[in-house]
Structure 1
Amino acid sequence: MTLIDTDDQRDLASSVSRFVSGQAPMSAVRETIKSEASFDPAVWRRLSQELGIAGLAIPEEYGGSGATWSDLVVAVRALGAGLVPTPLLATSVLAAGTLLALDDEEARREWLPRFAEGSAIGTLAVSEGGRGWVPVNPSCVVDDGTVTGTKTGVLNAAEADVLLVSTADGIVLVEKDAPGLTVTPVEGLDLTQGLATVTLERTPGRLLAGDAAVALDTVLDVANLVLASEQAAATKACLDMTTEYAKIRYSFGQPIGIYQGVKHPLANIYTDWALTDAAVRKASESFAAGSETASLDAAVARHLASSGYIEAAKQTMLLHGGIGFTWEHDAHLYYRNAITGNVLLGGPTFQQDRIAEKLGV
């Protein structure tokens, strides 16, 4: 994904959009929400094996497609617009991205092919004490090949086959069912996202080779880009949903879209989406070109996307009137997703500080 999508990217986006409308519509999302699972394994398997989404940005030598993060962003748009619950961010971005940024070839060859084919779920456990991102001086410690500590807000930890845990000594690989590992699912505001608290008590793990600080900084850039893309797509979905409603809902004999109290908020949502979409495309282009500003551009895109999405989701509920506040309507699902995404992996203040840091301010 760059400022202008290539033909291949447009074909990819079309394929994922057709899949979402046919195999993972909002009715199916609601069924997943009602279940105990945080995503539908059948949907994830088809996305991985039939469309190759899970391994899209994983190099061919590790069983992936060898595409770029920018290509993955194109696929993410369709998933984000439909709020499709998947372990894509946890597995294909956080876990795979961390392994690619480290220097542990053994871990790469063991886990990346399994991530690419969708047969294994991975995640990155980095947050502590309710904070969105703790890359410096984590409290988890390594002692004689074991890890002790607690991580919060870990994506898809309940389903993960392997966890990459940030510690004071580096990144430690911990497999599921390891002694002393306790994963406690938490009920978050976003019903489409699986979160858990991970507790490790002298849990066996393997310290991975490579610079953990550099790897975490690198994977955060990719996560910001992917999450911003999801949020931009969801913002557009809110705009489309509300615009259509404004055409068919009548008040005083006129469609409500004729009134300034509706037109102006919709215009504001469009403006926010246009700015966000441009920022995401600029960041994606920077990644594709290997630009020195890629990190800054990703943080800017994430900051714009998070704030714009929250406002869009809020206005979607308000402009739908009473029905917009009901469980039966989809508006609240987008609002929940927007609120959670705003603080996931580093909230607004953290992103502002990151932007300032990258600017040298």
Structure 2
Amino acid sequence: MTLIDTDDQRDLASSVKRFVSGQAPMAAVRKTIASEASFDPDVWRRLSQELGVAGLPIPEQYGGAGASWSDLVVALRELGSGLVPTPVLATSVLATGTLLALDDEEARATWLPRFAEGTAVGTLAVSEGARSPWAVADSTCVVEDGTVTGTKTAVLNAAEADVLLVTTASGVVLVEKGAPGLTITPADALDLTRGIATVTLERTPGRLLAGDAAAAVDAVADLANLALASEQAAATKACLDMTTEYAKIRYSFGQPIGIYQGVKHPLADIYTDWALTDAAIRKASESLAEGSETASLDAAVARHLASSGYVEAAKQTMLLHGGIGFTWEHDAHLYYRNAITGNVLLGGPAAQQDRIAQKLGV
């Protein structure tokens, strides 16, 4: 995705949109979140093998499509609009991005083909509570004699992951599922569409991957910001569309509520926030594709705009739907939960502001 989508990207968006409406509508999303699983394995398999979404950014030599991160962003927009629970962010962005940014060919050859075909889930364990998740040098995880000890919080899809890439002050350590000393405790998240967990490692065997960990993780932070912003902007637009339609059919005092300023003005604000965010995301996507010096700054700005705009849009969606917007039966609260969680996931507003200041040299 650049400032203007290409024909191929429009076709991809159309294919994923049809898939979401046919195979993962909100009724299916509700069924998934009511189960113990954090995503539907069949949906993940079909997204990976039939549409090739999981392997979009993976080079052809590893079984992927050899497409760009911009192309993956196009798919993420459609998935984010429908709140579809998938491990795309964990596997195709965080884990894949980390392996591609490092220099460990053995790890790439082993895991990237499996990621591309959807037969393995990977994730990046980077967060450690209040500290900035991307400050690798400050990690409290300790590597000693081929083992790693420490705790990571809010790790996406950790319970389903076949491999975890754990950031430490010594570098990125690859830990496989079922390794001794590895404990994964699923968390009761506010967002019901994301599976997160706390990962505890106690002298857990792992392999330190080759490459500049700090540079790799910093690059992945840009990808994470762009990917999350894309999902959030699409969800913001979904909130806008949902509420606009409701304002046309809900009558008060004999008139549709959409004629009242108390409804029109918030909807106009949501549209303005979305339009600005969409432009920022397209700029960030183009900057990353071109390797621009401002890519990191652009991605952080897009994420900051997307997070704040989505929280406000989701809140207004609940309020403007009146009492029904607060009920379990309505989808508005699912977007609100997703917005609140996404606002702090992998670096909240303060962390994004710090990153923007850092990239500006302030």
Match of 1:329 in 2: 330
8 A Cα contact 2:187 2:198, kept in partner: yes
TM-score, normalised by the number of residues in structure 2: 0.99
- Taking the aligned partners of 1:194 and 1:263, their CA distance within structure 2 comes to 36
CA distance in 2, matches of 1:290, 1:358: 15
Question: Which residue of structure 2 lines up, in the alignment, with residue 101 of structure 1?
Answer: 101
Matched, 1:233 2:223: no
In structure 2, C-alpha distance between the alignment counterparts of 1:75 and 1:134, rounded to whole Å:
25
Equivalent residue, structure 1, for 2:320: 319
Q: Flag the 1:108–1:79 CA change in 2: closer, same or farther, 3 A.
A: same
- Over residues 67-98 of structure 1, what are the superposed CA-to-partner deviations in whole Å (9 max), with x where a residue is unaligned? 00001001111000000000000000000000
Would you say 1:191 and 2:188 are equivalent positions? no
Q: Is the 8 A contact 2:134 2:221 kept in 1?
A: no
Aligned to 1:346, the other structure's residue is in SS state coil
Give 1:288's aligned residue.
Answer: 289
| Aligned equivalent of 1:123 | 123
Conserved? CA contact 1:128–1:134, under 8 Å:
no
Instruction: State the SS of the aligned residue for 1:199.
Output: strand
Between the aligned partners of 1:315 and 1:302, the Cα distance in structure 2 is 20
Note the C-alpha offset of 1:236.
0.1
Aligned twin of 1:243: 244
Paired position in structure 1 for 2:142: 141
2:28 partner amino acid: A
Tell me, in whole angstroms, the C-alpha distance in 1 between the residues paired with 2:80 and 2:172: 29
SS at structure 2 position matched to 1:150: strand
Displacement after TM superposition at 1:47 (Å):
0.1
Q: Distance in 2 between matches of 1:179 and 1:291?
A: 43
Contact 1:102–1:208 under 8 Å retained in 2: yes
Match of 2:15?
Answer: 15
Runs (5+) with no aligned partner, structure 1: none
Counterpart secondary structure, 1:158? helix
After the TM superposition, which of the residue ranges 291-300 and 235-244 deviates more from structure 2? 291-300
Contact between 2:139 and 2:168, CA under 8 Å: does it hold in 1?
yes
Contact 1:130/1:152, CA 8 A, preserved across alignment? no
Equivalent position amino acid for 2:272 in 1 = T
Cα separation, 2, equivalents of 1:168 and 1:99: 17
The CA distance in 2 between the partners of 1:304 and 1:7, in whole Å, is 27
Q: Which digits, 9 at most, give the CA deviation of each residue in 1:223-265, with x for residues without a partner?
A: 1001000000000000000000000000000000000000000
* Pair 69,124 (structure 1): closer, same or farther in 2 beyond 3 Å: same
- C-alpha distance in structure 2 between counterparts of 1:165 and 1:26, whole Å: 33
Q: CA deviation at 1:132?
A: 5.6
Return closer, same or farther for 1:216/1:344 CA change in 2, 3 Å cut-off: same
Matches of 1:59 and 1:299 in 2, distance apart? 26
Amino acid paired to 1:330: D
| Aligned equivalent of 2:357 | 356
Find the counterpart in structure 2 of residue 51 from structure 1: 51
Give a deviation string over 1:250-303, Cα, whole Å, max 9, x none: 000000000000000000000000000000011111112121111110000000
CA apart distance, 1:131: 4.3
**Take 2:138 and 2:240, find their aligned partners in 1: how far apart are those partners?**
41
TM normalised by structure 1 equals: 0.99
Does the CA-based 8 Å contact 1:126-1:134 persist in structure 2? Answer: yes
| RMSD between aligned residues | 0.7
Alpha-carbon separation, structure 2, partners of 1:303 and 1:105: 34
Give the CA deviation at 1:129: 2.6
Give 3-state SS (helix, strand or coil) of 1:36's partner: coil
State the SS of the aligned residue for 2:160: coil
| C-alpha distance in structure 2 between counterparts of 1:341 and 1:275, whole Å | 19
Secondary structure (helix, strand or coil) at the match of 2:158 reads coil
Question: Which residue of the partner structure matches residue 170 of structure 2?
Answer: 169
